[in-house]
Structure 1
Amino acid sequence: MDDNMTMRLEIARRIYDLDAEVYRVLGSSLGRVFNSDRDMTVRRLANLMGDFTQGHYLRSELALISNMARTIPVKADRSRLMTEYNEILHALDKLPTNFNSLDILDPKMAHLNSLRLNRRFDQGNHLVVCIGRTYGSAGTDIGFALADALKINYYDSEIFTEVLERMEADPKSVQDRVSFAHKQNLNQSLGMDKNRGLKERLREFNRYHGLPTEDALFFNQSGLLCDMAKREDFIIMGRCADAILSNNGIPHISLFINAPFNLRVRRVMDTDGLDKKGAVKLLHQLDRRHRHYYEFYTGRRWGDPANYDLCLNSASYGIDGSVALVRQLIEKSRESAKD
């Protein structure tokens, strides 16, 4: 076994044990993130660390653990477990093939940028940051790193699905509002799944009180998102969150992260193991899909600067620089709220 794999296995064990300890201390009725055999789970986590194409799964699982850990009421326990979480992130960063290392920085542009900030939200509201992004712009990496830097919860589509499913399983939850089909993919959300039979479509029709499945899912997640914004600080990736919160009068900061197409192509070639032709095709498909979903449910133009507080070219700053930039925006907003 090479040294890199040994390091990954050790970190994987720490992740598994952290999840177990968070569950033990919290005694959560929502359950653990990892329920499988320890050795099997550790091996899977170690493999994820070495695969750029699957790194988002590891990121989501880590975020679920940290989100739960931040709810621990005893300060000493919460501090101890969050310290271990942060040390695990630092260990991941040191891996030769860490899952979050490919940057999008364009050094020629980075030195040209400056920032002018205005007041963004009023004092007393929860900090909610909505991030839209194009695939290959490192937007998800930036969102995850920003949540860690701000010490707030992080939700992407996979975590949001998991939260909805867990709430549905919780007898204390409102069943109708959070009904959710687990692992519903984006094609189904856009109504592109042509293979569902008549019986399945009728069953979904009855389940959602006559609404099309994709519409019911959107309304359910919208209601949950608004409830969350009244209870906690968090970062939410996509989900039309900026438009949903705006329509409900809930303060938030909205960002859109993009990068030059050629740099996105290069990054996707590295992260997804595609040749240039395949990367270009994938980006065009995903851009069309994301644009259709966003514009269908919001009536807004996806990526239009008029719809966001800040549109960020991640190639101008890279991942770390983008995180620092947004933190500066938030800190300035908080200072303005005190005036």
Structure 2
Amino acid sequence: MEKNIVFTIAREYGSGGRTIGKMLAERLDIPFYDREILRLASDESGISELLFAEADEKLKGNLLFNISRSVYDGSVLGPDSDDYASTKNLFNFQAKVIKELAKTQSCVIVGRCADFILKDYDNVIRIFIYADEEFNFNRAMERNSMTEGEMRKYIAKRNKYRGDYYKHYTGRDWHDARQYDLCLNSGKLGFEKTLQSIQSYQEIRFGD
């Protein structure tokens, strides 16, 4: 791949978006980033990687998170600030890392609101992977030991958190197709054809 192209993948729980992202990275022989962003942000900021992980967990249990907004504006606070290790600044450091990656290499980035962070970058293909409820449920049941009722609640909870997280940091609706270049139903296409669809779009838009 001669041109520097970044693929961002947002996905519903159980749709296989992360797996498809890894398949894409392997097919194109480019780096894959998910939680690796936390390590890179830790290296960039000097803040413990554990704090980055804990910040996400704290948001899951914060009732105000569902209604509050902290829309990313590109700023990063310095170490002399009292809010240097705040949840917002930790997100901002992740965003800084994502921007640096987009400027320097082709890669696949899963989650982290990367599509929004890179919304002004012309070399980005923004993808949303989804599937019908039963496909997501059946796939999730293959990988987890929960009752049917527990799993359906867990999927709903995970997707709600992803939507709330996206809304909190972007001010936008996670399911709004206008955020993305491609919205693909992995349940209808299967993983291989979903991957082929992404590569076909890449070739049409950027050439071979």
Q: TM-score, normalised by structure 2?
A: 0.83
Task: Tell whether the 8 Å contact from 1:129 to 1:253 is kept in structure 2 after alignment.
Answer: yes
Q: Which has the higher helix share?
A: 1
Task: Tell whether the 8 Å contact from 1:164 to 1:179 is kept in structure 2 after alignment.
Answer: no
Structure 2 runs not aligned, ≥5 long: 64-77
The residue aligned with 2:180 is 308
Structure 2 Cα separation of the partners of residues 262 and 323 of structure 1: 21
1:205-284 superposed matches below 5 A: 209-211=81-83, 213-246=86-119, 248-249=120-121, 251-284=123-156
The residue aligned with 2:194 is 322
**For residue 129 of structure 1, what is the amino acid of its counterpart?**
F
1:276 deviation in Å? 1.1
1:139 aligns with 2:17: yes
1:104-183 superposed matches below 5 A: 126-156=4-34, 158-165=35-42, 167-168=43-44, 175=45, 180=49, 181-183=51-53
Structure 2 Cα separation of the partners of residues 186 and 209 of structure 1: 21
Q: Deviations over 1:296-332 (max 9, x none)?
A: 1101110211111010100111111111111111122
The residue aligned with 1:59 is none
**For residue 136 of structure 1, what is the amino acid of its counterpart?**
G
1:241 deviation in Å? 0.4
Instruction: Mark the CA change 1:271 to 1:190 in structure 2 (over 3 Å): closer, same or farther.
Output: closer
**For residue 140 of structure 1, what is the amino acid of its counterpart?**
R
Structure 1 residue matching 2:105: 3-state secondary structure: coil
Task: Tell whether the 8 Å contact from 1:179 to 1:217 is kept in structure 2 after alignment.
Answer: no
Structure 1 Cα separation of the partners of residues 96 and 79 of structure 2: 17
1:189 deviation in Å? 4.1
Q: Which has the higher contact order (CA 8 A, sep 6+)?
A: 2
How much is the aligned-residue C-alpha RMSD, in angstroms? 2.7
Structure 2 Cα separation of the partners of residues 279 and 243 of structure 1: 29
Structure 2 residue matching 1:317: 3-state secondary structure: helix
Structure 1 residue matching 2:104: 3-state secondary structure: coil
Q: Deviations over 1:249-306 (max 9, x none)?
A: 4531100000001111111111112221011010111111111000111011102111
Structure 2 Cα separation of the partners of residues 263 and 305 of structure 1: 20
Structure 1 residue matching 2:146: 3-state secondary structure: coil
Instruction: Mark the CA change 1:279 to 1:190 in structure 2 (over 3 Å): closer, same or farther.
Output: closer
Structure 2 Cα separation of the partners of residues 145 and 125 of structure 1: 19
Structure 1 residue matching 2:53: 3-state secondary structure: coil
Q: Deviations over 1:48-87 (max 9, x none)?
A: xxxxxxxxxxxxxxxxxxxxxxxxxxxxxxxxxxxxxxxx
Structure 2 Cα separation of the partners of residues 179 and 125 of structure 1: 34
Q: Which has the higher strand share?
A: 2
Structure 2 Cα separation of the partners of residues 218 and 231 of structure 1: 20
Instruction: Mark the CA change 1:134 to 1:268 in structure 2 (over 3 Å): closer, same or farther.
Output: same
**For residue 38 of structure 2, what is the amino acid of its counterpart?**
T
| Larger Rg over CA atoms | 1
1:183 deviation in Å? 3.2
